[in-house]
Amino acid sequence: MLKCVLVIASLIITSSFAQHNLPPKEQWLTLRGEEPLVIARGGLSGVFPESSPFANQMALVSGLHNTVLYCNLQLTKDAVGICLTDLRLQNSTNIEDVFPGEHKSYNVNGKIIKGWFSVDYMSRTLFNKLLMIQSVLSRPSLYDGTLPIAAVEDVMGIKPTQFWLNAEHEAFYAEHNLSVSLYLQKALRMMRINFVSSSEIGILKGISGSVNKARTKLVFRFLEATEIEPTTKKTYGVLAQELPMIKTFASGILVRKEYIWPIGQDKYVQPATTLVMDAHKLGLEVYASGFANDAIVGYNYSYDPIREYLQYFDNGHFAVDGVLTDFSPAASQAVACYSSFRNNGKPQPGLEQALVISSNGASGDFPGSTDLAYQRAIDDGADVIDCSVQLSKDGVPFCMDMADLLTGTTVVTSFSARTTTIPEVQSEAGIFSFDLTWAEILTLKPQITNPFMASSGLARNPAFKNKGKFMTLPEFLEFAKAKAVSGIMINIQNAAYLASKKGLDMVGTVSTALINSTFDKQSTQQVFIRSDDTSVLSFFKAKFPNFIRVLTVDTKIGDAPKDALEEIKRYAEVVAIPRGSIIEITNYFTTGLTKVVAEIKASNLSVFVYVMRNEYVSLAFDYYSEASMEISTFVDYFHVDGIITEFPNTAKRYMTCPCRPTQLNPNGAPYIIVPPEIGLLMKMVAPEAKPPTDPPLPPLDADDVIDPPLPAVVETSATNPSGVADGPAAATPSAAVSNVANLFPSLLSVVVLNFFISHFCIVIINTH
Ligand SMILES: *[C@@H]1O[C@H](CO)[C@@H](O)[C@H](O)[C@H]1NC(C)=O
Ligand SMILES: *[C@@H]1O[C@H](CO)[C@@H](O)[C@H](O)[C@H]1NC(C)=O
Ligand SMILES: *[C@@H]1O[C@H](CO)[C@@H](O)[C@H](O)[C@H]1NC(C)=O
Ligand SMILES: *[C@@H]1O[C@H](CO)[C@@H](O)[C@H](O)[C@H]1NC(C)=O
Ligand SMILES: *[C@@H]1O[C@H](CO)[C@@H](O)[C@H](O)[C@H]1NC(C)=O
């Protein structure tokens, strides 16, 4: 039969890394006190087609050394076992194109289902004619049509430390003269299978006589509570109450994660059931399934897969014995690096620390720039909390992401008549803080930002959508002083426009507040002044020499020439740049990197990068849909000095974890998180399928960055209540206000890139 041998080993070597045995003494609340197992469903199926060689090999090189490879067994007409989740082949292969019109309808456990079934094809046909496709839309489709279906033997050939075979549908296969039990009995004799699971009691009982219990564990898999188990005709919900009976033939159970931490109608996580503790009392292991970084339901997890895993095995009350996941690297990291007893939240001595700087507080969790967002940022360990200062029409300074109140407040409900377009501030129309009095602003409610709602439907913490209080700048300063943050960052926007057109003195107001709250005198909390306007930075340099000035360069640059940087050094000590100036991304794949960070640092300037988010749609596939991998890349590969993030928890947790690749004694680490090799996943795409790369980014140009001096503040008076002054035209800000909300195209544009490529792999003849 034709089989593919893939030439990925050499590619993978560069990203593989040493895995070490975990330290022996741990307080895991699993049945046996061992660390939870990471079970990779079809390998790294979150990136590559399920059970393909890419998927399986990547799961092994990028996860814990004892990662279990999980294969969902299906049988072909000639009783060959293949690894696919669905009985039907159309979701995961190109069979619709290869055998058009050959779909059938069958009765499977009382339900009529339609499609192309493995039982209708000889294995030779399937292996020779079909190629796999990614069945989940949020995952890369660029590998579609390049990889063959995997036989059970192919997965075993990769030599996983542990192997898990799941099998179902005994009755359906029997109608096609096939037997799952017979297949399993034969397989158990011929290969080392560590786990066999099934949702059918008949299958498990049928093979239990031929299982060496010391070698192979039998696991009963629960389907949805309302579905009926074929052997007993009871629902799985009822069987969940009959664990002692299950213990008679199984050593463990595999349940959807919602059996343990249910999700309510409101999509918040409800209190845990007693299932894990009940099962453990009986000596039954519990494995939880359904984990995927790109499908995190439960707002409590803030789209952070690590938080979700920790809820299952580091909650202080119980721990599941393993997690079945499409993204085994994240699960591996959660086990090895992030449990409370391995990561105490303290920096490790001798390790380079990048500052964790909030972006409008923890604005991923709560409405930005509110007391709730700032308190959360501090609780999450942010080193620096930030306030972007805006002014009301009557000159009250307060914290808010942008002068335009449309995204951060409910302003549209009451003041839509004040909508204006002010090209000096932003290109889109808005309702601006400087057109509303402070009393008017206080009638508004804060509003959480949802940057990925329109493109991907991902909402943030809706129960707190309009919660929290706005903070004036003096309130923010008093708050910061009272808390143990090591610094504050004050971001100043539109100062020239406000002075010349609105008669509002932004720099004067901010300085007065800083002096009044004695930030100019203290040395315990560092003040950072951030602006995209060099004249604002000059003002603060003259007045407060101890403050650190941060210049925002918000246009994406591909290079930072020395002379431009020398010019910038006259104004700033730090340059804040967007992620896209460091790593180039095409269709969610990293495709290249710039030298910008190294160049800036070589000029003795520091680099902050913005803005980090948890949601998988903000991440390149190379990070396996997990934000800490991106942070790892910026901190330990590029060595940036600060991370500006809407989710300080994710960044701080990485900074204090024992798995950083830069640590002094990597051999003593339980696991090493290695930043992805930039461009590796794209290298694995067949040449014909590669999308065109974007044109190179322009270099940093000092002329674009340096601004004219701040204009004088024009007089406005009560006779001019509209606040519109006839002052000199404000200088156009050097860097256009960019909407950093979404550096990525909508997900759909990626999904439509559906390439069908053949013969990417080296095909060899294998007499099977
Ligand atoms: C397969 O595709 C059908 C629709 O074509 C869908 O209803 C089903 O959920 C898919 N199954 C899987 C396992 O993705
Ligand atoms: C199963 O085997 C029986 C007897 O050998 C045969 O009559 C029947 O047609 C077969 N069914 C299928 C679906 O192959
Ligand atoms: C999840 O968040 C909701 C809303 O904040 C809260 O009521 C609930 O207790 C949280 N669930 C868990 C398990 O902490
Ligand atoms: C100055 O600070 C004090 C508290 O230290 C506060 O009560 C007062 O309102 C502040 N004044 C100004 C102008 O910010
Ligand atoms: C950077 O600073 C170091 C030490 O302060 C100095 O030796 C070096 O010349 C500086 N480099 C540049 C490019 O200014």
DSSP string covering 286-310, please?
EEEEEE-TT----GGGTT-HHHHHH
- Give the closest residue (by CA) to ligand 5 atom 5: 604
Beta strands 548-552; 526-531: pairing state: parallel
Q: Give the ligand 4 atom nearest the CA of 513.
A: 14
Q: Give the ligand 1 atom nearest the CA of 85.
A: 13
Ligand nearest to the backbone CA of 106: 2
Give, to the nearest 10 degrees, the angle between helix 305-313 and helix 328-337: 60
Q: Model confidence at 522, in pLDDT bands (50, 70, 90)?
A: confident
672-679 mean pLDDT: 92
pLDDT given at position 499: 97
Are 325 and 62 within 8 A, CB to CB?
Answer: no
Give percent helix, percent strand, percent coil of the chain, each to the nearest 5.
30, 20, 50
How many Å lie between the centroid of ligand 2 and the Cα of residue 189? Answer: 27
Distance CA 324, CA 335 (A): 13
pLDDT given at position 94: 96
Pocket test of ligand 4: the residue of 516, 520, 521, 522 to mutate, having most ligand atoms within 8 Å of its CB, is 516
Query: Would you say the CB of residue 474 lies under 6 angstroms from ligand 4?
Result: yes
Ligand nearest to the backbone CA of 518: 4
**Which residues in 15-157 belong to E strands, given as ranges?**
37-41, 68-75, 81-83, 104-108, 111-115
Query: Would you say the CB of residue 518 lies under 6 angstroms from ligand 4?
Result: no
pLDDT higher than threshold 90 for residue 725: no
Q: What count of residues does the chain have?
A: 768
Q: Model confidence at 484, in pLDDT bands (50, 70, 90)?
A: confident
Pocket test of ligand 1: the residue of 50, 91, 133 to mutate, having most ligand atoms within 8 Å of its CB, is 91
- % the chain with pLDDT above 90: 84
**Non-local CB neighbours of 734 within 8 Å, separated by 6+ positions:** 532, 533, 534, 704, 705, 706, 707
Query: Would you say the CB of residue 267 lies under 6 angstroms from ligand 3?
Result: no
Closest CA to 135 of 221, 3, 40, 42: 42
Tokens of 121: 């094809």
508-518 mean pLDDT: 97
* Interval 417-465: pLDDT, tens: 999 999 999 999 999 999 999 999 999 999 999 999 999 999 999 999 9
pLDDT given at position 717: 57
pLDDT given at position 667: 82
pLDDT given at position 458: 97
Q: Give the ligand 3 atom nearest the CA of 268.
A: 1
Query: Would you say the CB of residue 176 lies under 6 angstroms from ligand 2?
Result: yes
- Give the closest residue (by CA) to ligand 4 atom 5: 517
Ligand nearest to the backbone CA of 465: 3
**Which residues in 135-221 belong to E strands, given as ranges?**
162-166, 195-198, 217-221
How many Å lie between the centroid of ligand 5 and the Cα of residue 602? Answer: 8
Pocket test of ligand 3: the residue of 268, 461, 467 to mutate, having most ligand atoms within 8 Å of its CB, is 268
pLDDT higher than threshold 90 for residue 526: yes
Query: Would you say the CB of residue 463 lies under 6 angstroms from ligand 3?
Result: yes
How far, CA to CA in Å, does 294 sit from each of 150, 226, 434?
Answer: 24, 26, 40
Helix, strand, or coil (residue 619): coil
Distance CA 537, CA 548 (A): 9
Pocket test of ligand 3: the residue of 258, 269, 299, 315 to mutate, having most ligand atoms within 8 Å of its CB, is 269
Q: Give the ligand 2 atom nearest the CA of 176.
A: 13
Are 613 and 625 within 8 A, CB to CB?
Answer: no
Query: Would you say the CB of residue 445 lies under 6 angstroms from ligand 2?
Result: no
What SS3 string covers 240-288? Answer: CCCHHHHHCCCCEEEEEHHHCCCECCCCCECCCCCHHHHHHHCCCEEEE
* Interval 749-762: pLDDT, tens: 222 222 222 223 33
User: Which backbone phi and psi does 223 adopt, to 5 degrees?
Assistant: -95, -170
Distance CA 38, CA 322 (A): 6
pLDDT given at position 25: 56
pLDDT given at position 26: 63
- Give the closest residue (by CA) to ligand 1 atom 5: 91
Beta strands 195-198; 162-166: pairing state: parallel
Tokens of 634: 């910026």
pLDDT higher than threshold 70 for residue 739: no
Query: Would you say the CB of residue 755 lies under 6 angstroms from ligand 3?
Result: no
- % the chain with pLDDT above 70: 90
* Interval 380-429: pLDDT, tens: 999 999 999 999 999 999 999 999 999 999 999 999 999 999 999 999 99
Are 596 and 564 within 8 A, CB to CB?
Answer: no
Tokens of 263: 């999700």
pLDDT higher than threshold 50 for residue 720: no
Helix, strand, or coil (residue 204): helix
Query: Would you say the CB of residue 516 lies under 6 angstroms from ligand 4?
Result: yes
How many Å lie between the centroid of ligand 1 and the Cα of residue 170? Answer: 21
Pocket test of ligand 5: the residue of 563, 569, 604 to mutate, having most ligand atoms within 8 Å of its CB, is 604
Amino acid identity at 285:
E
Distance CA 161, CA 163 (A): 7
Ligand nearest to the backbone CA of 573: 5
Query: Would you say the CB of residue 269 lies under 6 angstroms from ligand 3?
Result: yes
How many Å lie between the centroid of ligand 1 and the Cα of residue 92? Answer: 9
Ligand 5 pocket, Cβ-based, cut-off 6 angstroms = 603-604
Ligand 1 pocket, Cβ-based, cut-off 6 angstroms = 85-86, 91, 135
- Give the closest residue (by CA) to ligand 1 atom 1: 91
The single residue listed with the structure tokens 């402070």 is 438
pLDDT higher than threshold 70 for residue 735: no
100-124 mean pLDDT: 95
* Interval 609-622: pLDDT, tens: 999 999 999 999 99
How high is the mean pLDDT of the chain?
89
Are 600 and 575 within 8 A, CB to CB?
Answer: yes
- Give the closest residue (by CA) to ligand 3 atom 11: 269
Distance CA 331, CA 287 (A): 13
- Give the closest residue (by CA) to ligand 1 atom 8: 91
Closest CA to 687 of 622, 761, 584, 593: 761
Q: Model confidence at 670, in pLDDT bands (50, 70, 90)?
A: confident
pLDDT higher than threshold 60 for residue 602: yes
pLDDT given at position 67: 97
* Angle subtended at Cα 579 by Cα 575 and Cα 582, rounded to the nearest 5 degrees: 80
